[in-house]
Amino acid sequence: MDGSKPVDLQEPLEELARDPTLFSHDLKFPPADRIRVYDDTLRDGEQMPGVAITPKDKYELARMLSDIGVHIMDVGFPYVSEGERETLRLVLEGRKRGELRPDLEVVCMMRSTKGDIDATMQVIDSLGHKRDEVTYFVFTSASDLHVKYKLGKTLLHREGIPESEWLELPVSHYREANLRMMCEAIAYARSQGATSIEFGGEDGSRADVDYIAEIHREGLKAGGTRPSTPDTVGCYSPYAVREYIPKIKAAAPDAPLVVHFHNDLGIGAWNTVTALGSGAEVFTTSVNGIGERTGNAPMHQVLLQLRYLFGIEIPNFKYEKLRDLARHLERVSGIPVQPTEPGIGLNVFSHESGIHTAGMLIHPAIYQFIPPADMGAKVEYVYGKHSGAVVVEHALRGAFSKR
Amino acid sequence: MKRIREERAERADFSEFHRNYYEHLGHLGLTAAEVVDIARAISADSSARG
The complex scores an ipTM of: 0.90
- Spatial separation of the C-alpha atoms in residues A175 and A218, rounded to whole Å: 13
Contact flag A331-B18 (C-beta cutoff 8 Å): yes
**Which whole-number Å values give the CA distances from A107 to A41, A114, A385, in the listed order?**
12, 18, 50
For B18, the closest chain A residue by CA position comes to: A331
Q: Which of A227, A249, A245 is nearest to A237 (CA)?
A: A245
Q: Using CB atoms within 10 Å of the CB of residue A270, give its burial: 0 to 12 exposed, 13 to 18 middle, 19+ buried.
A: buried
Q: Is the predicted pLDDT of residue B28 greater than 80, yes or no? A: yes
Q: Does B24 touch chain A (CB under 8 A)?
A: no
pLDDT tens for the 403 residues of chain A, in order: 455 789 999 999 999 999 999 999 999 999 999 999 999 999 999 999 999 999 999 999 999 999 999 999 999 999 998 899 999 999 999 999 999 999 999 999 999 999 999 999 999 999 999 999 999 999 999 999 999 999 999 999 999 999 999 999 999 999 999 999 999 999 999 999 999 999 999 999 999 999 999 999 999 999 999 999 999 999 999 999 999 999 999 999 999 999 999 999 999 999 999 999 999 999 999 999 999 999 999 999 999 999 999 999 999 999 999 999 999 999 999 999 999 999 999 999 999 999 999 999 999 999 999 999 999 999 999 999 999 999 999 999 999 887 6
**Which whole-number Å values give the CA distances from B33 to A6, A21, A357, A382, in the listed order?**
22, 39, 17, 11
Residues of B in contact with A54 (CB under 8 A): 6, 9-10
For A52, the closest chain B residue by CA position comes to: B9
Amino acid making up residue A321: K
- Spatial separation of the C-alpha atoms in residues A267 and A272, rounded to whole Å: 8
pTM for the model stands at 0.96
Contact A136, A192 (CB under 8 A): no
pLDDT of residue B3: 83
pLDDT of residue A403: 62
pLDDT of residue A1: 45
Phi, psi of A322 (to 5 degrees): -60, -35
Contact A121, A88 (CB under 8 A): no
Other Cβ atoms less than 10 A from the Cβ of B23: the count is: 9
Q: Does B41 touch chain A (CB under 8 A)?
A: no
Q: For chain B, how far is it from start to end, CA to CA, in angstroms?
A: 73
String of DSSP letters for A71-102: -EEE---TTS-HHHHHHHHHHHHHHHHTSS-T
pLDDT of residue A277: 98
Contact flag A339-B9 (C-beta cutoff 8 Å): no
- Spatial separation of the C-alpha atoms in residues B27 and B23, rounded to whole Å: 6
| Bridge partners for B30 per DSSP | A383
For A332, the closest chain B residue by CA position comes to: B14
For the packed helices A209-222 and A238-251, what is the interaxial angle rounded to 10 degrees?
A: 40
Contact flag A395-B28 (C-beta cutoff 8 Å): no
Least CB-CB distance to B30: which of A82, A327, A383?
A: A383
Least CB-CB distance to B29: which of A82, A352, A398?
A: A352
Mutate to test the interface with B, among A47, A338, A349, A383 (most CBs of B within 10 A): A383
Task: Grade residue B50 by pLDDT with cuts at 50, 70 and 90.
Answer: confident
pLDDT of residue A141: 98
Residues of B in contact with A331 (CB under 8 A): 14-15, 18
Residues of A in contact with B39 (CB under 8 A): 396
Share the mean pLDDT of chain B. 92
- Spatial separation of the C-alpha atoms in residues A361 and A3, rounded to whole Å: 7
Least CB-CB distance to B32: which of A57, A336, A381?
A: A381
- Spatial separation of the C-alpha atoms in residues A352 and A380, rounded to whole Å: 9
Residues of A in contact with B2 (CB under 8 A): 80-81, 83
Torsion, Cα of A205, A209, A211, A217 (10° steps): 110
Minimal C-alpha gap between B49 and chain A (Å): 22
Contact A299, A270 (CB under 8 A): no
The answer for residues whose C-beta is within 8 angstroms of residue A40's C-beta and 6 or more apart is A74, A260, A284, A285, A286, A291, A296
Q: By a Cβ cutoff of 8 Å, what residues of chain A touch chain B?
A: 52-54, 57, 80-83, 327, 330-334, 336, 339, 346-347, 352, 381-384, 392, 395-396, 398-399
Mutate to test the interface with A, among B11, B27, B35, B37 (most CBs of A within 10 A): B35
For B22, the closest chain A residue by CA position comes to: A346
- Spatial separation of the C-alpha atoms in residues A309 and A303, rounded to whole Å: 10
Q: Which of B29, B5, B25, B6 is nearest to B17 (CA)?
A: B25
For B2, the closest chain A residue by CA position comes to: A81
Q: How many Cβ contacts (< 8 angstroms) between chains A and B? A: 64
Contact flag B18-A336 (C-beta cutoff 8 Å): yes
Minimal C-alpha gap between B19 and chain A (Å): 9
The answer for residues whose C-beta is within 8 angstroms of residue A39's C-beta and 6 or more apart is A65, A70, A72, A73, A74, A284, A285, A286, A287, A299
